[in-house]
Amino acid sequence: SQTIHQWPATLVQPVGSPLSLECTVEGTSNPNLYWYRQAAGRGLQLLFYSVGIGQISSEVPQNLSASRPQDRQFILSSKKLLLSDSGFYLCAWRKLGSGSTTDTQYFGPGTRLTVL
């Protein structure tokens, strides 16, 4: 079965510090991978998605970046955090294929980031 991991679970960082969040998927190959942010009381905002190694698409211009160095690894980074970067960061995967059921995305446990 497939599992998705994220770490760390919780992070408190000062403004201006760097960020690196990691997401890994097990039990599947060549998944589509996604980074979302959920701010307090807000909906899910898609930040980045990736269809393969080294392929990243950005949805929202911001001071965050993403990388996919391996098939099942997805990293979210920032060189300098802002207060507005606080939120719940969720990684999700989707298996490739056709048909409506393959649109289902499965989420990792998330990283709760507080920028002070």
Is residue 101 near another protein by the rule CB under 8 A? yes
CB atoms within 10 A of CB 62: 15
Smallest separation, CB 32 to another protein (Å): 5
Is residue 100 near another protein by the rule CB under 8 A? yes
- Return the structure tokens found at 61: 């211009």
CB atoms within 10 A of CB 105: 16
Which of helix, strand or coil describes residue 102? Answer: helix
- Residue selected from 1, 14, 43, 54 as contacting another protein according to rule CB under 8 A: 43
Interface residues with another protein (CB under 8 A) are 32, 42-44, 46, 49, 51, 57, 88, 90, 94, 100-110, 112
